[in-house]
Amino acid sequence: MNMDVLTPIEGSIARIRLNRPKALHALNTAMCTQILSALDGWAKDEHVAAVMIDHAEGRGFCAGGDIRMLAESGAKDGADARAFFHVEYRMNHRLFTYAKPTVAFMDGITMGGGVGLALPCDFRVATENTKFAMPETGIGLFPDVGGGWYLSRLPGRIGRYLALTGHRLDGAECLALGLATHYLTSDALDEAKTRIAADPQDIAGILDSLSSPAPDARILAHRDAIDRLFASDELEDIFAALAADDGEWAQQQLATLKTKSPQTMKVSLRLLHEGAMMKTFEDEMRQEYAVGAHVVQRHDFLEGVRAVIVDKDNAPNWNPATPEGVTDHVIDQIFAPLPDAEAWAPS
């Protein structure tokens, strides 16, 4: 039995407890496979009334996916990376369409794959420890696990800003943007879980009664600037708008973007532009799988992982090095649908 994720049933509550604390509960293929299998079993189990997702110990809800494995696979034939994305996205989609109530506790780091676990849930609890981000452009990847769907549906241009910069949100900001449905202090979580297990029909009422007033959402102070400076779906336009604004905040954002992969920033902008128009989450995941299958074998992802995770010099050599160097043709290649026999499907 894989102990990296625990899937006990307690009373009429089924639990998914991430249990890989040394890796901040980052998801690997076996964990996603086990979670997907458990969800499928619970869907048919009349004794299971709801599903609760959290982490068993240590800090961080979930720091993402097994990036090192993805890069090692991408440097070869990419088969293991595709297998990971395939089962992870099925897990994401299963949660998104799940018939029984689901609740996720985003207590601590919630990034990448952790976002993919939490955001499909009916109830999403943020705390004072929540650190929520989709930081993928910093390693030559893109906000996947449904990022094109969720981020494109945030107010104004905030989703584009988060996708490009990888900016971290706190729990109060998650609540204000609708990424979280409730804000609880971490010392109230045990009581919330105990009460939900005792009365899974009243998850909303229990979370409402234990909620605390959230601090001010700091990102909203920059809402007008974000909408103005990140208004375009063309990366060059965003760089130009930031460069033309001599305010301190705009210059900080420009400096941040200059550290990210131009190629995957362009991928992210297109992903959100198209994601906003996707009819179903299934369509979104099929597209993200094709994009992911292409991106993991490209230079920028392998170089980004080298710079940030392997050598830790934080000095990636992106290729192309500038937004202007990334042609529409390259982006079209990355977004090319896979042949039917290789395409993602929900089951």
Residues designated as active site: 65, 113, 136, 144
Contacts of 10 (CB under 8 A, 6+ apart): 197
Percent of the chain as helix, strand, coil, to the nearest 5: 50, 10, 35
CA dist 63 and 308 (Å) reads 14
Instruction: Give residue 189's identity as a one-letter amino acid code.
Output: L
The residue whose two tokens read 């900001």 is: 173
Report the C-alpha gap between 323 and 209 in whole angstroms: 49
| Cβ-contact 162, 154 below 8 angstroms | yes
- Closest among 141, 164, 135, 29 to 74, alpha carbons compared: 141
The strand order across the sheet containing 109-111 reads 109-111, 131-133, 169-170
> 125-139 burial by CB neighbour count: b if 16+ within 10 A, else e?
bbbbbbbbbbbbbbb
- Strands 131-133 and 109-111, sheet pairing: parallel
CA contacts within 13 A on the Cβ side of 267: 30
Q: Return all residues near 101 (Cβ < 8 A) that are at least 6 apart.
A: 49, 50, 51, 122, 123, 200, 203
Length of the chain: 347
Sequence-separated (6 or more) residues with CB below 8 Å from residue 142: 136, 163, 264, 267, 268, 271, 291, 292, 295
Place of tokens 């297998």: 83
Please name the amino acid found at residue 124: R
Q: SS3 for 10?
A: strand
Provide the pairing of β-strand 50-55 with 102-106: parallel
